[in-house]
Chain A
């Protein structure tokens, strides 16, 4: 059983965590002009799916907080975890 670090709760079993999305995606700004189907498809469905170092958004399902998890998709080594906003860090 691998343990993942939650920025708020510390190290917990991997089964307490849920993968949400790749980090760094920006939702199309719907306040301005009409959004093309291509832009929505890119935001909703297209992933980088990197082999190696990656930054992802995960949820710690017991405290219900989303956060950034940095890890390696080949070695499964976790290299960092941080709150989505720095001022939220415990």
Chain B
């Protein structure tokens, strides 16, 4: 497991310009608009493993430069705030769900950049594991044992994301 800063940016409030999420793997960015009008902008992970919750400047260049190339109409938009949150990335970019080596202790972690989207399903599978003390068939491949068996779940390769 390695920890990285994942940065996000929020712009000043604008009149409605987009009602969906725009995502470009080529430019390495995505953005959407909140109900309050602010654009929510994000991209890839910092390249330096870190616990410093602020993020580094080369990634800000990459994300905001990519945004302006992707949507030149946004070039004059001002940022309201930005932050860096720490995400834990596993060797195959997939989460760890299952019993730990300590009896009675179960892990549900290593969601990397995907936790917010996937945790409704992840929580359901984890509850099944806690209640039955055995995996749901969907969560079994995410067991810690995959690093010894070699059956990695290469989510990074499957989804074409950059980590």
Residue positions of A touching B, CB distance < 8 A: 1-2, 13-15, 18-19, 37-38, 40-41, 44-47, 49, 51, 56, 73-76
Contacts and interface: CB of A to CB of B under 8 A. Distances in A.
Q: Which of A2, A44, A49, A56 has the most CB of B within 10 A?
A: A49
A76 B50 contact: yes
Interface in B59-109: 88, 91
Q: Is the interface of B mostly helix, strand, loop or mixed?
A: loop
A46 B56 CA distance: 26
Interface residues of B, number: 18
A49 B2 contact: yes
Contacts of A75: 52
Interface string B22-58: 0000000000000000000000000111111000111
B7 interface: no
Contacts of A13: 58
Contact of A73 (B50, B56, B57, B88): B50
